[in-house]
Amino acid sequence: MHTLLQPFVKSMLLGRFRRRSSFLTLPMLLMLATSAQAQEDAPPRPLPAEVQADVAAIAEHLSSVQEDAPPLACAKAVENARWGVETMLEVGEKNLRGGYMTQAAYDATTPTLKALLRVLTVQDCEAATGVRHDFYQCMSSDYNHVYACGKAHPFEP
């Protein structure tokens, strides 16, 4: 799961990110996007070097599990995972329109995210075993991002 999503996560962070302060919270960062229409075959818009460095640092943070073994809480895990995937889809769409993501990258990633969204249910969590159980346990923490948990505990939706 994580190999396909890595470019999407980085692209998700590119949407109109401008250096306004040395610290932006994740919700603020995820909300920044543009509404301009991208051309289907156009390459992504370039970013200044300092913004690229910030994006790389944030992407590294998002791809790291912050809390290793929280107690399993299926309702919380599903809520956190669904929110993360829905946010990735929304921001990816905005970044596509803004020219920060190519149509090909968007088209390659969104089916995986939508398939994951369909299986993220409390019932699936309660029945989960092995790596899938570990993913939901990871997502039981409000400090972990769905990308980090998916990277640490990959499973097929």
- Give the tens place of pLDDT for each residue, 7-58: 555 554 444 333 333 232 333 333 333 223 334 456 788 778 888 888 888 8
CA 77, CA 80: separation in Å to the nearest integer? 5
Please indicate, yes or no, whether the overall pTM of this predicted structure exceeds 0.75. no
At 130, list the tokens: 């092995």
Kindly state the tokens that stand for 74.
């299926």
Q: pLDDT tens for residues 84-97?
A: 999 999 999 998 99
State what percent of residues in the chain have pLDDT above 90.
50
Across 49-68, b (16+ Cβ under 10 Å) vs e yields eeeeebbeebbeebbebeee
Rounded-to-integer distance, Cα 18 and Cα 83, Å: 24
Average confidence (pLDDT) over 119-135:
97
